[in-house]
Amino acid sequence: MAWSTRELAELADTTVNTIRHYHRLGLLEEPTRRYNGYKQYGVKDLVRLLRIRRLVGLGVPLSQIGEVDADGHSSQEMLRELDAELVASIDRLQRARADIAAILRDDAPADAPAGFESVAASLSESDRSILHISGQLYDEQAMADLRSMVEVDVGAGDVGRQIDALPADADEATRDRLARLLAPTLAQNLIQYPWLLNPAGRLSKSERVTRQTITEAVVELYNPAQLDVLGRASLLAQQQLQAGPGAPLRKLT
């Protein structure tokens, strides 16, 4: 029995172009030709093509198919490596499905930071950007703590929204008011999550890289008035911790 290239492709559930590609790679030998110049393939060619398609279906790269011997037995090490890659791919796809489900459930932006889907719609673009960057710098437990902080902040009121809307030339009184409103929340976060004052044990990158990256990101993502409020609130929060619970917030000079 002899088949044309098209007939062989149909038998193997592939395409003529794929067969030609295998010829170019040297995976499939060029067949004999009929008197009229057309290629004619036999059973041997069909079996070889089916073996190639089987290995491709398993995920073996075309560049490694040549390592398979004439009996169709491939290296055990190659298959173990391939299996590990498939496990990693399955894990990634499962995480992607879970993330997509969370985004759809919470009607969140498609690029919502992982784990923050439920609050992403309430966050400013700058806040979401900081969370994206933080996910590359801190470990999973730190990000879980940050998620808890953000959820409390979002549910607590409109202080965050006021800071988000703060113009760069906001007056002194507005800056002082917002800093005093934000400071108690920051102080509570420092009490509940002590690692915020010494994050070395929660980093996935070096302290130098983390400090430099966060500093540059904050300066670029927030305007001068917002940075001023955040700085004042941080100082007030630390003063409150030193003074003890219930101590009044002192005016910064």
Encode pLDDT of 100-136 as tens digits.
Answer: 999 999 999 999 999 999 999 989 999 999 999 999 9
* Res 36 pLDDT > 80: no
**Same domain, yes or no, for 174 and 65?**
no
**Same domain, yes or no, for 133 and 226?**
yes
* Residue 59, in any domain of the structure: yes
* Residue 53, in any domain of the structure: yes
Half-sphere exposure of 117 (CA within 13 A, CB side): 16
Final residue before a domain boundary, out of 70, 93, 111: 70
**Same domain, yes or no, for 64 and 128?**
no
* Residue 97, in any domain of the structure: no
* Residue 81, in any domain of the structure: no
**Same domain, yes or no, for 235 and 133?**
yes
**Same domain, yes or no, for 35 and 132?**
no
* Res 205 pLDDT > 90: yes
pLDDT of residue 65: 86
The position carrying tokens 């003529």 is 16
* Residue 181, in any domain of the structure: yes
* Residue 107, in any domain of the structure: no
pLDDT of residue 245: 58
Count: domains in the chain? 2
Beta bridge partners of 33: 39
Q: Rg (Cα) of the chain, in Å, rounded?
A: 31
* Res 71 pLDDT > 90: no
**Same domain, yes or no, for 205 and 128?**
yes
* Res 253 pLDDT > 50: no
pLDDT of residue 250: 54
Final residue before a domain boundary, out of 35, 55, 70: 70
pLDDT of residue 53: 95
Domain of residue 20, CATH code? 1.10.1660.10
Encode pLDDT of 214-242 as tens digits.
Answer: 999 999 999 999 999 999 999 999 998 88
Final residue before a domain boundary, out of 46, 70, 94: 70
* Residue 112, in any domain of the structure: no
Structural domain containing residue 134: 123-243
* Residue 79, in any domain of the structure: no
**More confident of the two residues 167 and 74:** 167
Give start and end residues of each alpha helix (H) in 16-124: 16-25, 43-58, 62-65, 76-106, 117-120
**Same domain, yes or no, for 237 and 131?**
yes
What is the residue-averaged pLDDT of the chain?
90
